[in-house]
């Protein structure tokens, strides 16, 4: 299973997920975004990846807070993460849900 699939599945059962499961899911999203910055987008000029660096920084310092959001708020965020990771997977040519090295 890929992270996008896991996010999609989590969205369907979000009200039943406990805080630890939510925290772990957001942590996995953060790890994936960091992987894009460290590997797949490494050679992209800084001014072109600034938005992703800002997002990663924001998520890094807010994982616990994000995990504790009300279900509907967290659902909206997860749907956007699902879309973003799907797009980044396509752009970077990720295989099996892992960012490709370029």
CA–CA dist 59, 56 (Å, integer): 5
* pLDDT tens digits for range 61-76: 999 999 999 999 999 9
- Does pLDDT of 37 surpass 90? no
- How confident is the model at residue 9, as a pLDDT? 94
CB 93 within 8 A of CB 25: no
- How confident is the model at residue 98, as a pLDDT? 56
Residue 7, both tokens: 């996010």
* pLDDT tens digits for range 47-102: 888 899 999 999 999 999 999 999 999 999 999 999 999 998 888 885 445 555 44
CA–CA dist 35, 16 (Å, integer): 29
Question: pTM to 2 decimals?
Answer: 0.84
Q: Which phi-psi region, left, alpha or beta, contains residue 47 (left: φ > 0; alpha: ψ -120 to 50)?
A: alpha
């Amino acid at each position: 299973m890929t992270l996008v699939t896991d996010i999609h599945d989590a969205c369907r059962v979000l009200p039943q997920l406990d805080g630890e499961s939510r925290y772990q899911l957001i942590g996995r999203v953060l790890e994936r975004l960091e992987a894009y910055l460290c590997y797949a987008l490494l050679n992209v000029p800084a001014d072109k990846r600034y938005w992703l660096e800002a997002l990663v920084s924001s998520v890094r310092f807010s994982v616990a807070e994000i995990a504790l959001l009300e279900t509907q708020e967290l659902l909206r965020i997860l749907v956007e993460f699902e879309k973003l990771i799907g797009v980044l997977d396509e752009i970077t040519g990720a295989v099996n849900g892992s960012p490709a090295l370029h």
